[in-house]
Amino acid sequence: MAEVRALRWIPTTQWPPTLQRLVWVIAGLALSVVPHVPHIKAWILVLAAGAAALRIAIEVKQWQMLAKWLRSVLAFVALLAVLLDYRTLNGIDAGTALLIVMAGMKLLETRSVRDLTVIVFLSYFALFAAFLYNQSLLRLPYMLVTAWLLTVTLMRIHQTTTSMSIREALGITGRMFAQSLPLAILLFLLFPRLPGQFWSVVPARGEAVTGLSDEMSPGDVSDLSISTALAFRAKFIGPLPPPRERYWRGPVLHDFDGRTWRQPRTLFVAQEVVTSGATYEYDLMIEPHQRRWVFALDVPTNWPKRRAARSSDLQLLTGFERPVSTLTTFRLESATSYTVNGPLPNLMRATDTRLPGGRNERSILLAREMRERAGSDEAFIAAVLAKFRDEEYFYTLEPPRLKLDSVDDFLFNTRRGFCEHFASAFTMLARAAGIPARVVTGYQGGEFNPISGYLLIRQSDAHAWSEVWLGERGWVRVDPTAAVAPERIERGIEAALTEGGESLPGTFLRNSALLTRLRLAWDAANTFWNNQVVAFGEEQQRWLLERLNIGDGDWQELGVGLVLTLVAFFALMSVYLAWRFRPRALDPLAQIYEQMCRKLARHGLPRAPHEGPTDYVTRVLQTRPELAQQLVEARKIYVALRYGPRSWGPQLNRSELSRLKFIVNQLKV
């Protein structure tokens, strides 16, 4: 059996050239589709793989190609299937799906070099689409190598007669890549960037992005805590805020149905914010999350007005049509001590004291009772926090599931919860006591990276807290989690959970000193990558040009820079290639003979192409007999060395060669 298989196996180099080309093209396509595997629908991959397998079978078994009408029907059905499944052909998801499906369909009709080339082009495009999904540093080597291999394939399918060895193709294309790279970099740096999208694409519904959502039910935030994915980074110009003030404000939730908190549908009148004390200035680099939220440190006081706006509940939001769909940087200013002035708008008061009827009735009774006993709003809040702190309430990542009346169930039954349970319960109790209150979701804390000087905020830092309206003091932040697990606020979520004997995934990695250093170094590299490359934009471009003293980076100067770059590239490439294609060096004997011929040619006696040395010298001597002595000796030596019995090569007669050289040098025409 093994023998049979061994006999049937033919080395790839002996495959028929058409099959080799086809296999290379299909492999290139596969390599560029691999980055799409996590987000593309399985049937699309199966369809493309099936088409590839069928095409190879046709080639190997010498079957007939599918009829043209059948291919057209297949392509149309595939297009329809994509349209039905994705409901659109617009947008990255549907576009990528269509691209892969059409590459598969195109494979079924590939016959000529032209068809194969089209597949390679589609592969380039798939690679391009993969960058739209993920621009991480980790992926870059894979993408570059794939682009290189695609180019090798492109070159090899265009060698129609003799097939080019892979090594040679790798060498030539590698050199071409190296030569193109400087031009590509300069184009990248100099090409004017347009702010914003000019063709808005609505992100498909159900596009899952880990991160906060615009509503909060028990269990939502604790689910996020498992994710170590990065939410955003912050680089402070001055000192860092202390850990207990690192509250990054996200969606503010007002509507409560007894279990879930939601953003209101109504708009409120904005209130005035008066800050006191120092402000923090920082750059916030937000990973794409497809929402409009900018997680500013509480509370933003200055922000790029063209790109974002502060809502009436103090959240910073980008423009309606411009969600954070790529890594985006904002220069912000925030204050941590502030008061919201002025009377509470009626609509806001009504919304923030509303409770759903007939739900969580035990808690409402408890709140009223506690409020009566406390005597003031402040005392009531202190009493609730004391209750959380002193009674048997636990902070845990794995809280039990709650019944419909979630606050009742939590307060009187399970007594175990994560930040959203405490925030939800506290806010509801405050409302029941007649105090306007709302839930704020966002992030709390952050890990400082000493190598890059950034604060890293992960999804696991997601948090929920409350804000209550206390008359003159305005909106005051109350974090009930701080009462039950103060270390969560001071030292982060891991510290809080390890106290209770729980651990987050990946905690071991974080506890090893060496690994921590490696992790932080890797993150520093990533940060550099993200800031300098991924987020390269108008501002960085202007900064770079100013640094290089080229100008202030307006379009005109960029245009001149681009033109100069292209001109320089053309000139350098021409010179380089002329040098690379220079004639091969002649052997020393031929060089001397050439020199002699040139000397004579300069004086009107060029050697005719058909003349050998004997005829040539004879002809020259007819017009210039005075050169006889020198030319006859030169001819004798040359003929002896070139055609003589002693083979020309290692046994080269040095003295004769130098004699010839001497004669030619002395030759005075």
Partner 1 sequence: MLSRLLSALRRRTRVWARKRHGIDSDPLTLSPRRIYIVPSGLGIAFTLMLFAMFLGAMNYSNNLALGLTFMLGALALTAMHYCHRNLAGLQLRSAASEPVFAGQTARFRIALENDAKVARYELVIANEHSVAQPARVESGGRVVLDLDVPAPQRGLLALDSFEISTRHPFGLFRAWAYLNIDLRCVVYPKPSPRGLPPPPLETDTGGAQDTTRGDEDFAGLRAFHPGDSPRRIAWKAYAREQGLQVKVYAGTAVTSHSFDWDALPGLGTEARLSQLCRWVEDAYAAGRAFGLRLPGVEIAPNVGPGQRQRCLTALALFDEKAAHG
Q: Residue 43: phi, psi to the nearest 5? A: -65, -30
Q: How far is the CB of 96 from partner 1 (least distance, A)?
A: 11
Distances (CA, A) of 412 to 302, 395, 430, 589: 44, 15, 17, 105
Vertex 595 angle, CA 589 and 600, to 5°: 130
* Binders in 494-533 for partner 1, by CB under 8 A: 533
Q: Mapping DSSP to helix (H, G, I), strand (E, B) and coil, where does residue 85 land?
A: helix
Kindly state whether residue 43 participates in binding partner 1, applying the rule CB under 8 A.
no
Q: Residue 215: phi, psi to the nearest 5? A: -145, 165
Kindly state whether residue 33 participates in binding partner 1, applying the rule CB under 8 A.
no
Kindly state whether residue 318 participates in binding partner 1, applying the rule CB under 8 A.
no
Residue among 32, 96, 110, 135 that touches partner 1 (CB under 8 A): 135
Does the active-site annotation cover 597? no
Per-residue mark of binding to partner 1, 320-349 (x: CB under 8 A): -----xx-----------------------
What contacts 224, CB < 8 A, 6 or more positions away? 210, 211, 212, 459, 460, 462
**Residue 424 and residue 481: Cα distance in Å, rounded?**
11
Per-residue mark of binding to partner 1, 266-305 (x: CB under 8 A): ----------------------------------------
Kindly state whether residue 114 participates in binding partner 1, applying the rule CB under 8 A.
yes
Give the closest residue to 468 by CA, choosing from 557, 590, 379: 379
Does the active-site annotation cover 419? yes
Kindly state whether residue 127 participates in binding partner 1, applying the rule CB under 8 A.
yes
| Other Cβ atoms within 10 Å of 225 Cβ, number | 20
Kindly state the number of chain residues that form the binding site for partner 1, as judged by CB under 8 A. 63
Kindly state whether residue 650 participates in binding partner 1, applying the rule CB under 8 A.
no
Kindly state whether residue 69 participates in binding partner 1, applying the rule CB under 8 A.
no
Residue among 208, 320, 581, 649 that touches partner 1 (CB under 8 A): 581
Kindly state whether residue 545 participates in binding partner 1, applying the rule CB under 8 A.
no
Residue among 23, 65, 79, 534 that touches partner 1 (CB under 8 A): 534
Residue among 131, 268, 448, 648 that touches partner 1 (CB under 8 A): 131
Q: Which is nearer to partner 1, 131 or 448 (CB)?
A: 131
What are the residue ranges of helices labelled H in 266-402? 346-353, 361-374, 377-390
Q: Which is nearer to partner 1, 139 or 244 (CB)?
A: 139
What contacts 310, CB < 8 A, 6 or more positions away? 270, 300, 303, 316, 317
Is-contact 648 641, C-beta < 8 A? yes
Does the active-site annotation cover 463? yes
Where does this chain touch partner 1 (CB under 8 A) — which range of 7-15, 17-25, 579-587, 660-668?
579-587
Q: How far is the CB of 197 from partner 1 (least distance, A)?
A: 5
Q: Mapping DSSP to helix (H, G, I), strand (E, B) and coil, where does residue 242 land?
A: coil
Is-contact 413 459, C-beta < 8 A? no
Q: Which is nearer to partner 1, 155 or 605 (CB)?
A: 155
Kindly state whether residue 177 participates in binding partner 1, applying the rule CB under 8 A.
yes
H or E element, residue 51: helix 42-61
**Residue 230 and residue 209: Cα distance in Å, rounded?**
12
- The one-character DSSP state at 136 is -
**Residue 433 and residue 539: Cα distance in Å, rounded?**
50
Kindly state whether residue 198 participates in binding partner 1, applying the rule CB under 8 A.
yes
Q: Which is nearer to partner 1, 254 or 607 (CB)?
A: 607
Residue among 147, 364, 366, 545 that touches partner 1 (CB under 8 A): 147
**Catalytic position from the list 419, 461, 523, 597:** 419
Handedness of CA 537, 538, 544, 550 (dihedral sign): positive
Q: Residue 24 has which token pair?
A: 């290379």
Kindly state whether residue 75 participates in binding partner 1, applying the rule CB under 8 A.
no
Catalytic (active-site) positions: 419, 463, 479
**Which chain residues interact with partner 1 by CB under 8 A?**
92, 113-114, 117-118, 121, 124-125, 127-128, 131-132, 135, 140, 143, 147, 151, 154-155, 158-162, 164, 172-173, 176-177, 179-181, 183-184, 187-188, 191, 193-194, 196-199, 201, 325-326, 533-537, 569-570, 573-574, 577-578, 580-584, 609
